[in-house]
């Protein structure tokens, strides 16, 4: 079992709809969770971080964490063509060691 | 402006050559990392360093070497022992001891074997 798993997609969503991206992780000791957006040929950029169970909202983005189910998701509301990118889920095991383990990413396409 | 600079942006390596990728940061971050990304894949950790003069192997260290002589610099050498080095290489840095706040990434180096 991979440590961090994502559906590779591609995931196609109409413009203006909600895009839902999912990630599961294998290590119950994982403490911190991140979502990165990566445009083709570019480096990843951090868009959301979440540390506690529940929802965290930032603009059109909502991260959801369920540690009991070892599941973290990212919702993008009012999807725009500029949201078309690969979204990487990353997990950190312990505070004090910032090493991240990444999933393979989900490719999202917003259809105008 | 603070950030991470990777150079060169594109690099071509002949069979049997060693090549070195540069990574410099002026963010005063303690930790630095090297990741490799293959097409359609996530990031795989090669090496990381939490303090000067100390570094640890990641998941795919074979065929690579690093040094950390200065806080600002963490160069990666791809040796001839790395049989499939064609990939996108990303350097990142982060603060230590304040809980994981996520990485800052450089713009990457695309290495191609010719």
Interface of B to A at Cβ within 8 Å reads 31, 33, 35, 40-45, 48, 50, 90, 94-97, 99-103, 105-108
In the predicted structure, residue B15 carries a pLDDT above the cut 90:
no
Nearest Cα residue in chain B from A35: B102
Specify whether the CB–CB gap between A105 and A88 falls below 8 A: yes
Q: What is the CA radius of gyration of chain B?
A: 13
Per the DSSP assignment, residues forming a β-bridge with B19 are B78
Q: Write down the pLDDT at residue A99.
A: 81
Distance CA B109, CA B88 (A): 6
Local confidence band at A7 (pLDDT 50, 70, 90 cut-offs)? confident
CB contact under 8 A, B99 and A95: yes
In A, residues 11-40, which contact B (CB 8 Å cutoff)? 31-32, 34, 36
3-state SS class at A108: strand
Q: In what order do the strands lie in the sheet with A19-25?
A: A4-6, A19-25, A71-76, A61-66, A54-58
Q: Write down the pLDDT at residue B94.
A: 87
A101 contacts in chain B (CB < 8 Å): 45
Local confidence band at A1 (pLDDT 50, 70, 90 cut-offs)? low
Angstrom CA distances, A27 to A63, A94, A102, B57, stand at 19, 11, 13, 20
CB contact under 8 A, B42 and A88: yes
User: Which of the residue ranges A54-63, A89-98, B30-39 would you say has the lowest mean pLDDT?
Assistant: A89-98
Which residue from A97, A99, A103 is facing B45, i.e. has the nearest CB? A99
> How far A102 CA lies from chain B's nearest CA (Å)?
6
Local confidence band at B96 (pLDDT 50, 70, 90 cut-offs)? confident
**Number of alpha helices (DSSP H) and beta strands (DSSP E) in chain B:** 0, 11
Which residue from A31, A46, A96 is facing B102, i.e. has the nearest CB? A46
Distance CA B95, CA B71 (A): 12
Interface with A, mutate which of B23, B31, B42 (most A CBs under 10 A) = B42
Question: What average pLDDT does the segment B106-113 reach?
Answer: 94
Residues A80-93: tens digit of each pLDDT:
999 999 999 999 87
- HSE-CB of B33 using CA atoms within 13 angstroms: 23
Give the residue from A26, A101, A103 showing the smallest Cα distance to A71.
A26
Residues B42-91: tens digit of each pLDDT:
899 999 999 999 999 999 999 999 999 999 999 999 998 888 899 999 99
Per the DSSP assignment, residues forming a β-bridge with B18 are none
Give the residue from A61, A64, A40, A44 showing the smallest Cα distance to A52.
A64
Give the position of tokens 């001839």: B80
């Amino acid at each position: 079992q991979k440590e961090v798993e994502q559906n590779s997609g591609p995931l196609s969503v109409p413009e203006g709809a909600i895009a839902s991206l999912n990630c599961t992780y294998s290590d119950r000791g994982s403490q911190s969770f991140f979502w990165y957006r990566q445009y083709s040929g570019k480096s990843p950029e951090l868009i959301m971080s979440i540390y506690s169970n529940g929802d965290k909202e930032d603009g059109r983005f909502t991260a959801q964490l369920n540690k009991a189910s070892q599941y973290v998701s990212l919702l993008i509301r009012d999807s725009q063509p500029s949201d078309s990118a690969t979204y990487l889920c990353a997990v950190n095991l312990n505070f004090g060691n910032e090493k991240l383990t990444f999933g393979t990413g989900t490719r999202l396409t917003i259809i105008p | 402006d603070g950030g991470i600079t990777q150079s060169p942006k594109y690099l071509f390596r002949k069979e049997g050559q060693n090549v070195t990728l540069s990574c410099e940061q002026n963010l005063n971050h303690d930790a630095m990392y090297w990741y490799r990304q293959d097409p359609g894949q996530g990031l795989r950790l090669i090496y990381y360093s939490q303090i000067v003069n100390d570094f640890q192997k990641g998941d795919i260290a074979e065929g690579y070497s690093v040094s950390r002589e200065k806080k600002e610099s963490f160069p990666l050498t791809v040796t001839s022992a790395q049989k499939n080095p064609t990939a996108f290489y990303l350097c990142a840095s982060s603060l230590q001891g304040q809980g994981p706040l996520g990485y800052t990434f450089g713009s990457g180096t695309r290495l191609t074997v010719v």
